[in-house]
Amino acid sequence: MNKKMILLAGGMVGAAVFFGGCGTDPHRIDTSGNRGLTTVDDINFKDWQMTASKAINSLLASGVLSRQDGRKTILMISTVKNSTSQHINTKILTDKMRQAVLRSGKALTTTAISGSGAEDKATRQVRKLEDDDMFNQATVQKSGTAIAPDMSLAGEIIQQKTTLGRKSESYFFFHLTLTDLKTGLAVWEDNFEVAKQAKKPVFGW
C-alpha cells in the first residue's frame, strides 16, 4: 500500500513538473508583429491595427479631406457604435484614425466636441473663468472663438457568429462614414471585414 502511495505521489509530482514546464514566462511582444493572441470571439489588437491601417489608407486615398478654399478641414469624431456581443472600446480605432488625419496635414481634429461629449473638457471649462477674479481677464479665452467642425467620422461594428459542429466562426464588419456637416451627405464610406475561425478539440476545451 505504502509503495503504491509513493508511486502515485511520485507520478503526480512528475506530472506537475511536466505540465509546469509547458508554460512560458511573461514576455513582451512586438506590437507591430503577428505574435499576438488570436481568439474567435474578440477583436484582437492585430485586428484593430489592420482595420485602422486599411481605413486610413482608404480615407487618405479618397482625397475628400482636401478643401478648395485652402483652409484645413476640421474633423470631429462622432460615435462608432458597438453592435458586437463583446465589450470593446472603439477609441482604439478612432484614435488611430484621428492621429493619421492630423499627421496628413489635410485636416485638423477637434477635441472640443465628439459623439460622447468633449474629448477634452478644458475648452469649455476655461471659458467659465470669465467670472473668476483670480485670472487676468485679458488672458481668458473668450466665448465664440472655438471653431466648429466641418466633417464627422462615425461608424458601426457588427459581429455575426456561426457554429457548425466543433467549428466556430466570427465575422466582424466595420462600417465607417465621413459626413459633410454642412450638407449632411456622406463624402466617404468604406467597409472593413475580419473573419476568424477555430475548431474545438474532441477532448478538452
Partner 1 sequence: MKKMMLTGVAIVGLLFVGCQDTVNTVGNRESSMQREKVDTSRVSTDSFINRRLKIERVDKKIKPDGLMLVQVTAKNVRTGFFSEIGSWFMGDNPYKITYRFSWLDKDGMEVNTAASTWIPMTVIPGDTVRLQAVSPNSRCRDFILSLREDSE
Strand extents, DSSP E, the chain: 73-83, 107-109, 151-164, 167-180, 185-199
Give the CA radius of gyration of the chain: 26
* 81 three-class SS: strand
**Based on CB atoms, which residue is closest to partner 1, 94 or 159?**
94
Cell 473638457 sits at which residue? 121
Binding of partner 1 by 74 (CB under 8 A): no
Instruction: For residues 30 and 45, give the distance between their C-alpha atoms in angstroms, rounded to a whole number.
Output: 11
Binding flag, residue 103, partner 1 (CB under 8 A)? yes
Asked if 49 is part of the footprint of partner 1 (rule: CB under 8 A), the reply reads: yes
Residue 197 to residue 48: CA distance in whole angstroms: 17
CB of 73 or CB of 114, closer to partner 1: 73
33 forms part of the interface with partner 1 (CB under 8 A): yes
Q: Give the per-residue contact string, 131-150, with partner 1 (x = CB under 8 A; - = no).
A: --------------------
Using rule CB under 8 A, residue 57 touches partner 1: yes
Place of cell 489635410: 106
Which backbone phi and psi does 136 adopt, to 5 degrees? -65, 115
Which residue from 156, 154, 155, 152 is spatially nearest to 180, judged by alpha carbons?
Answer: 152
Enumerate residues 105-134 that contact partner 1 by CB under 8 A: 105-106
Strands 107-109, 73-83: pairing is parallel
Kindly state the smallest distance separating residue 59's Cβ from partner 1, in Å.
9
CA 205 – CA 201 distance, rounded (Å): 7
- Residue 187 makes contact with partner 1 by CB under 8 A: no
> Minimum distance between the CB of residue 98 and partner 1, rounded to whole angstroms?
9
CB of residue 77 to partner 1, shortest distance in Å: 14
Shortest spacing between CB 174 and partner 1, in angstroms: 15
Residue with smaller CB distance to partner 1, 66 or 125: 66
Q: Is 76 helix (H, G, I), strand (E, B) or coil?
A: strand
| Count of residues engaged in binding partner 1, rule: CB under 8 A | 24
- In the complex, the residues that contact partner 1 under the rule CB under 8 A are 32-35, 46, 49-50, 52-53, 56-57, 60-61, 63, 65-66, 96-97, 99-100, 103-106
